[in-house]
C-alpha cells in the first residue's frame, strides 16, 4: 500500500487564490499514483508552476517522486541524479 501526497503551491508569476488543499491518496502501484496525480492536476487546473515533486510513501519511507507530467522518479535529493522508474 502506497500513499501519494498531493500538494499545490502558489505560482507567483500567475497568482491564484483557489488552490486545492493538500490531500493524501492511497494507491497500490506507481502507475496508479501517476494517474491519480495527473487527474488531480487536471481537475484542479494546475500549471507546472503550482507543482513540485509529488511524494509517494510506503509507510513513512519516501519511495518515489512524481513530476508534473506524471513521470515517476527515484528520490535522490539532487534532481540530476534521479532516474526514471518505468511504469
Q: Which domain holds residue 9?
A: 2-85
pTM: 0.89
Q: What does the pLDDT read at residue 42?
A: 96
How many domains are there within the chain? 1
Question: What tens-digit pLDDT sequence spans the chain (87 residues)?
Answer: 999 999 998 887 788 888 999 999 999 999 999 999 999 999 999 988 898 889 999 999 999 999 999 999 999 999 899 999 998
Q: What does the pLDDT read at residue 81?
A: 94
Closest Cα to residue 2, out of 64, 46, 68?
64
Q: What does the pLDDT read at residue 46?
A: 93
Closest Cα to residue 87, out of 41, 36, 34, 46?
34
Counted residue by residue, the chain has a size of 87
Amino acid at each position: 500500500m502506497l500513499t501519494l501526497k498531493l500538494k499545490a503551491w502558489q505560482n507567483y508569476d500567475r497568482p491564484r487564490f483557489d488552490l486545492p488543499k493538500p490531500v493524501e491518496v492511497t494507491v497500490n502501484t506507481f502507475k496508479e499514483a501517476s494517474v491519480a496525480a495527473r487527474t488531480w492536476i487536471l481537475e484542479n487546473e494546475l500549471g507546472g508552476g503550482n507543482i513540485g515533486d509529488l511524494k509517494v510513501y510506503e509507510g513513512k519511507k519516501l519511495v518515489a517522486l512524481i513530476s508534473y507530467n506524471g513521470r515517476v522518479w527515484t528520490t535522490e535529493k539532487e534532481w540530476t541524479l534521479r532516474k526514471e522508474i518505468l511504469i
